[in-house]
Amino acid sequence: MLKTILYTLLLSLTLYGCSHTKDQFRDFTANTAKQDSLITVYATNCAHNYNYNTHMNEWQNCLDEGLKQDSTIAYLWQQKAMPYFKARKYEVGMAYLDQAVLYNPKRYQPYRAFIKCVFLKTYQDAIADFTDCKEKWGDNFEMDHTYSFYIGLSQLQLNQFDMAVSSFNEAIRTQSKFFKDTHHIDLFYLGITKMEQLKYDEAITLFDQALIQYPEFSEAMYYKALILQKQGKSPDTYLTLYEVALKWHKKGYTINEANAVYELYPYQLN
């Protein structure tokens, strides 16, 4: 249901701007019938028959053949880029992803900004890309979170805590327009930011809210315990929480973003 809502949002946006080339200004969201046919032949029925972890050459060769037929198909460029990010060959992947953004900015510029934030960890660049996306299309969603969320995450990592709080609050306001509950990850990172600001009681409240939605969330429990220790609470108060957090973490109850299997997220327990 979430993916359907987000996909509909992306398709319903209008592209606008004033400082872009003619090609960048065009809306490439919809492929032509011929392009869809090429995607089927060279991606669905060729590249996707291979595991890119073990057969990268075959995967890439299929896509290259498709791009020989039509070099403007953004999806084929994105499919070339994606395995390199997961293999931590970031600069190789980004060269291909930039091509995807050129031919379909509405779809792939937010994805590129996400890659900069979560994979490359080039936070200033991520903020710039997401800010541009917001100006063009509003505060929409990429990988289940708003552009403001990733801006906040980047600001958190740059120690820009006041700005991060503002961005996370904006992300939560945007979410509230579409979903009943605030995402536990948004609550967690707002709590982390409050912790960094030494606003411990506010941080604990946010961690508790995240734990209501995700009761086994080991990081939320761990940082709650850490705050209680910093506040000088009795060891009986926080040691039990540390033990529970460790038990959950050993069982795999950690930050459960899809790409957390490839990259550690900020403040994720290692």
Residue with tokens 């006041």: 162
Sequence-distant (≥ 6) Cβ neighbours of residue 259 within 8 angstroms: 118, 119, 143
CA nearest to 203, candidates 218, 184, 220: 220
pLDDT on residue 29: 59
Sequence-distant (≥ 6) Cβ neighbours of residue 87 within 8 angstroms: 53, 56
Would you say 161 and 193 are in contact if contact means Cβ atoms under 8 Å apart?
A: yes
pLDDT on residue 6: 38
pLDDT on residue 81: 98
CA nearest to 38, candidates 7, 71, 11: 71
In this prediction the pTM is 0.87
pLDDT on residue 12: 35
pLDDT on residue 10: 37
CB atoms under 10 Å from CB of 166, counted, come to 16
For the chain, which ranges sit under pLDDT 70?
1-29
